[in-house]
Chain A
């Protein structure tokens, strides 16, 4: 198979056609435009460039975790598992154009796998457990993907919605094995000595269990985003975009639409599985009430508000999911509302903010900034050729 260059995957075309199906779509292609544009201090090679970004982000994450208190460390854990799942979903929805309302249920698969595998006398190493969670969730994802590959738009949403509604019910049905409504408590893995020593020499902070979990969560997030970013910028990513934007052209070019859709679902399920595993560690409990349709919708909210198709957007959207409601609630309480009023108001304001973002930045926060930047560049380029 030759290196597929369909019109939509070519960066200039993506940027220039302002009447593209979705502005968000065009925006999601922007950084490959940047890469091709060439005038940047980053290495040209995608893998090297992403490795460099990974190292910088890892250093930044350590500085962030060590300069903030434990409470903030704990919150970072929540951002991380939302962001891992949102990253996978952004690949599926942003890159491949499939909508899933079932990713919360896929997270449940990963979370329950982790809870069950940790709940033995001598649990396997955490990395093995995480890999098992990923593999098992990918399998479920592949099965759903096969069904989903034939469906479009609202039909696909409906099918995955059934997953979100039905899967948590399994925990109730297999009550003895999966703990029923009250769920399975997750025994926290012991923090290793090298970690305690390392943190002490690094920052002088004491390494509590909360910090250990936060580091695991952040490490998983960085690795996931590194892999997803490479995938999205590779030939595979371009093919997914082709399947999304130019179905007929893609098929004429010899792409099997179904296979590629299933593959996208599988990759995004893998991310959801890891996110569920991290959730289990962070929350310390897996119960059906945690994996309702609300979770799936929250993930969609995160990727839409952040900017469809952008990993940075998924991360920002996840951070908003965690921090915006509590910030609003604290603001409400400082206005002398009681906690119940503040909690209710925070959801109202949260909703209003979401609507405003949809109205004024339909490409999401990151997408809109990228669009503005691209327009400016195009204008400058236009001025150059004109003059």
Chain B
């Protein structure tokens, strides 16, 4: 067997077999190899070569859920481009492959199959949507593919026993509901609260959290089914129940629909939309579209209350927003920096932290161990710390309440942190982190 054919055999083995350390040690010009402290990059697992790491994701790039959400991957891509231009992670360039699932679980499972089995990604990151991502967690966990930082506040992603490879990222809807509920109970003790909920776990978890504090104040609970665009029955029911404070756990298009419907009904309560439904830029453009131009911006949203857990474009003075602006401008992609792009960049930042912590030649299991062991300490754009540990795969632990004013916002509370169940709500102890000078995190490997 000639030297080159031996190398070819090793290469094929490396590409197909999961545990390839030994195979590559052989292919690595005969000598060396294998040692954990070796300073050379090796193809240590599927999706990792000496000079690249391949990551995969799924988003709704077309269809009803595409407005807004389809911008997230452009943000992720922009940040990875920025990191790659500055030398990548351990000298490896990050290759980010994302595909459209049109928010249909059948498509999601199809494209994730393709990402894992054909594109052979090292890990899946930032997969968006509860029903869509729910279709692939079993597959990813049975294949041992890290499934990091799911873009959804469902509590489904925090199940280390059944789904050891899956991790959430944003604060889940239940703790968001708790923080909102406590704020409303303290600041609007006389308000008659009506709930406007999406009819799935998003609305359910949010409502369960809020009810811990608002049970006595709630006068009505109305649920909408996504896809049915007539919310007049729900809004008039809230009006009829005498609710002067409406708390919405809904997606942006339903923020726009509920505002327009309330306007038609002459109904003017204090509105509080949870984080998901409150992006002023997107809601403004949806309002303009739904009202056929009668309303041209988000001025309807002035004075609306909401929550925030990462800095966005409404805080142009924030150092992180300035970093994202710089990264976005350098990426040369079309369009403006938006909150959705800032969201994607924040996730990409966490992903880089995870890859650094996983070590120079990580396996898929090293990456999971890195998030479990180091993730709770990572500093980044998020206002509150992550809850990652071996027993918890839940993401950010808290958020703050703010008021929308024009395209900007005003903070009304300090950062509040909590956990699921009846865990107490406290003020965050950590200082908000500043971005590193280089704009790229620098995490120690865990081993």
A residues adjacent to B (C-beta < 8 A):
69-72, 74-75, 78, 169, 172, 175, 180-183, 185, 187-188, 209-210, 279, 282-285, 287-290, 292, 294-295, 322, 326, 329, 338-340, 343-344, 347
**Bound CA span A339–B135, Å:** 21
Q: Is the CB of A290 within 8 A of B104?
A: yes
24 A-B contacts (beta carbon < 8 Å)? A69-B117, A71-B113, A71-B114, A75-B114, A180-B201, A181-B198, A183-B105, A183-B131, A183-B135, A188-B142, A279-B106, A283-B105, A283-B110, A284-B135, A284-B136, A285-B135, A322-B110, A329-B100, A338-B74, A338-B333, A339-B98, A340-B70, A340-B100, A344-B62
CB distance from B443 to the nearest CB of A (A): 28
Instruction: Choose from A181, A182, A289 the contact partner of B104 (Cβ within 8 Å).
Output: A289
- Contacting A at CB under 8 A, from B184-201, are 198-201
A384 → B minimal CB distance (Å): 51
| B104 partner residues in chain A, CB cutoff 8 A | 289-290, 292, 294
How many Å lie between the Cα of A255 and that of B348 in the bound state?
Answer: 67
Q: Which of B61, B117, B138 contacts A70 (CB 8 A)?
A: B117
Does B118 lie at the interface of the complex (its beta carbon under 8 Å from any beta carbon of A)?
yes
Nearest neighbor of A285 in chain B, beta-carbon distance: B135
A286 nearest in chain B by CB position: B105
- CB of A343 within 8 A of CB of B110, answer no
Residue of B nearest to A184 (CB): B134
Residue pair B106, A283 in contact (C-beta under 8 Å): yes
Interface size on B, residues (CB 8 A): 41
CB distance from B162 to the nearest CB of A (A): 10
Residues B139 and A284 in contact, CB atoms below 8 Å apart: yes
B113 close to A210 (CB less than 8 A): yes
Chain A residues near B22 (CB-CB < 8 A): none
Besides A283-B105, A290-B105, 11 other CB < 8 A contacts?
A74-B110, A182-B131, A188-B138, A284-B135, A288-B131, A289-B131, A339-B100, A340-B74, A343-B61, A343-B62, A343-B100
Beta-carbon nearest neighbor of B107 in chain A: A290
Query: Which residue of B is nearest A183, CB measured?
Result: B131
Task: Count CB-based A-B contacts (< 8 Å).
Answer: 114
Q: Determine how close the nearest CB of chain B comes to the CB of A197; give it in whole angstroms.
A: 21
Which residue numbers of B lie inside 8 Å of A, CB to CB? 61-62, 66, 70, 73-74, 77, 98-100, 102-106, 109-110, 113-114, 117-118, 130-132, 134-139, 142, 154, 156, 198-201, 225-227, 333
A169 to B223, CA, bound (A): 13
Which residues of the other chain, B, contact A69 by a CB distance below 8 angstroms? 117-118
A contact residues around B138 at 8 Å (CB): 185, 187-188, 284
Name B117's contact: one of A188, A210, A283 (CB within 8 Å): A210
A183 to B133, CA, bound (A): 11
A152 vs chain B, min Cβ distance (A): 29
Most buried by B among A188, A285, A344, A347: A285
How far does the alpha carbon of A71 sit from the alpha carbon of B333 in the complex, in Å? 31
Distance, CA A292 to CA B103, complexed state (A):
11
Residue pair A287, B100 in contact (C-beta under 8 Å) = no
Give the chain B neighbours of A282 by CB distance below 8 A: 109
**B114 close to A181 (CB less than 8 A):** no
Interchain CB contact under 8 A, B134 and A339: no
Q: Which residues of A contact B77 (CB under 8 A)?
A: 338
- CB-CB under 8 A from A72, the residues of chain B are 118
Report whether A185 and B134 are in contact in the complex, using a CB–CB cutoff of 8 Å: yes
Give the distance in Å from the alpha carbon of A210 to the alpha carbon of B109 in the complex. Answer: 12
In Å, the complex CA distance between A186 and B154 comes to 19
A297 to chain B minimum Cβ distance, whole angstroms, is 13
- In the complex formed, the residue of B with least CB distance to A326 is B114
> For residue B16, which residue of chain A has the nearest CB?
A69
Chain A minimum-CB-distance residue to B57: A339
The closest CB in chain B to the CB of A288 belongs to B131
Which residues of A are found within 8 Å of B154, using beta-carbon distances? 182
Complex contacts, B226 vs chain A, CB 8 Å:
181
List of B residues within 8 angstroms of A181 by Cβ: 130-131, 198-201, 226
CA distance A322 to B109 in the complex (A): 13
A283, B114: Cα distance in complex, Å: 13
Residues of B within 8 A of A294 (CB): 104
Contact of A285 among B62, B105, B199, B201 (CB under 8 A): B105
From B98, B103, B130, contact of A182 by CB (8 A): B130
CB distance from B64 to the nearest CB of A (A): 10
Interchain CA distance A209-B141 in the complex, whole Å: 13
With A182-B200, A283-B106, A285-B131 known as contacts, the answer to whether A339 contacts B73 (CB < 8 A) is yes
Q: Is there an interface contact between B62 and A71, defined as CB atoms closer than 8 Å?
A: no
CB within 8 Å for A283 and B109 given contacts A182-B156, A210-B117, A290-B104:
yes
* Bound: A84/B139 CA distance, A: 24
- Bound Cα distance from A290 to B108, whole angstroms: 10
Instruction: Check if A340 sits within 8 Å of B113, measured CB to CB.
Output: no
Q: For residue A295, which residue of chain B has the nearest CB?
A: B106
Find chain B residues with CB under 8 A from A182 CB: 130-131, 134, 154, 156, 200-201
